[in-house]
Structure 1
Amino acid sequence: MSLRRALERLLPGRGGLALSWSPGAYSGPGEELSPLYAFFEVANEGREPVELVRLYLAPEGEGPLGGAEPEGPLPLRLAPGESAAFRVRAGRLARALAASGHRGRPRVRLVAVDGRGREHALRFRYRVDEYLSLRDE
């Protein structure tokens, strides 16, 4: 790890982009729920504006995963403290991972590329088999 990256992690407010993910659904009329989504958030924790030019998912150790690109406005400029939300259907992501040979709980990376070409990554496990078994309308 570089000294710069170590300092960005240790000093609050000096970092670049912070990435997070969570599964969830939208509520509709009559307490109905939408199909399950994977929601992603990209937040600018730095002191300077950041341009976000690309966001993609990739199995650990592999390139971008086709067929499961997060939906959201790109490119975009994030002022300090601002964040942007993206989403992909949970079943769609599970099918794309399964089609590329990943089952069980593979490690997946969410990668955000800024305007300077720097990659910011979040690593997480995704429950492919469980999400494949869900009804996806």
Structure 2
Amino acid sequence: MTDKAVDYKGRKVSDVGLGDAIVKFAGFTPTVVAEDTRRRMPARQDIALVKKIQSNIMDLWSRGLAEGDKGMQERAAAWLQDWNEKNPESPIVVTNPALINQVKQMATPSVDRMLKGVPKGMRGRVAEEISLRGEN
């Protein structure tokens, strides 16, 4: 009997046998699942690092654009070039539309940014609550 191991959201992680199912039922992680997770960990760490560096470069560059600071923009471009030269296996790409979007986000008031993330059915009520609190 072969079944699957699932994560906390019910998504398949890997196939497991009856013995692994018993181990999981006892509250332990089956070896096959643990090995699969360990095998993927370095890739996940690489992805997280690249996303963090890309975010930092984008933040610096967009702030430079928003403030009209050429020095910030040049530092961000140099940082991007340096990263890509030292890490050709995981290059970072910064596009003009992404920078423009981030600059627009920076110019948007925090209340408006927050309301964009609120589910549509709640936006009216939340906007009203915020405006009422602002009047007091």
Aligning the two structures, in what range does the TM-score lie when normalised by the shorter sequence?
under 0.3
More strand by share: 1
**TM-score, reference length from structure 2:** 0.22
Structure with the bigger RCO (C-alpha within 8 Å, sep 6+) is 1
